[in-house]
Amino acid sequence: MKTVAIISQKGGAGKTTLALHLATSSALQGRNTAIIDLDPQASAANWSDRRVADVPVVLSAHASRLNHEISRVKDMEGDLLIIDTAPHSDSAALEAAKAADLILVPCRPAILDIEAISNTLNLVKTTGKPIFVVMNAVAPQGSEATEAAEAIAELGVGICPVQLRQRVAFSRALISGQSAEEFEPDGKAAQESSQLHAFMCEHLHIPTRQLEGKVA
C-alpha cells in the first residue's frame, strides 16, 4: 500500500481539496483507495456523506488513532491511502509524514502562506521523505504564481509542476460530493486534477490509465 500525507500547518491551504481529488482520481482508476481525515472539522468525512458513490472510503479519526486506522486500511487491502491532516498540530503532522511514501504541502501563492509553510517544511524534512509543494488557488492571470514559486524554491523543497487554479468547478464539485473529474469531466479543473494525480502516481511508481469519468 502506498501512502500520501497532505500536510500544512496553515488552515485554508487546500489540504482537503487535494486529498479528495487525488483519492477520487485513484478510485476512478479502480484502486482500493481510502482517506484518513484527521481534521476535527471533518470536511472530508462530510463530503463523503454527501457522496452517492461508496468510494473512496473516508475514515474520520483522532490523530492519536492514526496508526490504528492505517492498519485498518491495510486490512481492507488498500492500494492507496491519503492522509488529510489537521492544521496547527505538529505531532499529528509528523506522525503522518513518517507513515507516508510521499508528502504534499499545498500552498496558496501569497506571502503570508509561503511564510507559514516554512515551519511545516522544517518539520517534515526531518523524515527524509520526498516532499513537494503544490500551488493551490492560483489566479488565472498575473505573475503571482511565478513569484511564489521563486520564493518557495528558496526554502529548499521541490515544487509540483501542476498548479490548481481558482476554478468554480472545484468548489461546486465538493459541495455535491464529487470531484472535478466527475462534476465537469471536460473542464479545466478536471484536467488539472488529473495531471496532479498523474504526478502523484509517477512519484509513487504507480501506473496510470485513462480515467473512466464516474465511480459507480
To the nearest 10 degrees (0 to 180), the angle between helices 168-175 and 188-204 is 80
**Which grid coordinates are listed for 99?**
507513515
The tens digit of pLDDT for each residue in 65-102 reads 999 999 999 999 999 999 999 998 889 999 999 999 99
Nearest CA to 36 among 81, 90, 92?
81
Burial pattern 122-131, b for ≥16 Cβ within 10 A else e, equals ebbeebebeb
The pTM (predicted TM-score) of the whole model is 0.94
The HSE-up count of residue 106 (CA atoms within 13 Å, CB side) is: 28
- What parts of the chain have a pLDDT lower than 70? 209-216
Q: How many CA atoms lie within 13 A of 51 on its CB side?
A: 25
**Cα separation, 161 vs 199, whole angstroms:** 8
- Domains contained in the chain, CATH given: 2-204 (3.40.50.300)
The confidence score (pLDDT) of residue 9 equals: 87
Cell numbers given for 142: 498575473
CA distance 79 to 89: 27
Q: What pLDDT shows up at residue 141? A: 82
Amino acid identity at 127: T
